[in-house]
Amino acid sequence: MDDLEKAETVLQALKTAEQQPPQAALPILNGLAGLVQGDPDAPLEVQEVRADVFMAICELGKALHRGQPAEALWAPALTAAKRWRGLLG
């Protein structure tokens, strides 16, 4: 799977997870960590936005795991994933 496919998969998974209850969304988010890792030789702006996606997913997962409100965390995660996909495609 190339980086564009990974970015698209992450974006779609985030959209799906957002519609799920926390206990169903958490495993989806946990499955994305490996997809967000990428080529260390990628351009710096791609590495930075990929790091933004990773951090946003981590923040979401942490909030869901702790039973904290996560509504405000979905938009930044989706925005970062869209930026990542946009840089690649």
Q: For 21-68, write each residue's pLDDT tens digit.
A: 999 999 999 999 889 987 788 899 999 999 999 999 999 999 999 999
Other CB atoms within 10 A of residue 87 CB: 17
Residue 57's nearest CA partner among 6, 10, 89 is 10
pLDDT band at 89 (very low <50, low <70, confident <90, very high): confident
Q: Determine the angle formed by the axes of helices 44-66 and 22-30, rounding to 10 degrees.
A: 150
* Number of folded domains that form the chain: 1
Range of 60's domain?
A: 3-88
- Is the pTM higher than 0.85? The answer reads yes
**Among residues 27, 21, 89, which one has the least CA distance to residue 57?**
27
Residue whose entry in the numeric block shows the structure tokens 């942490």? 62
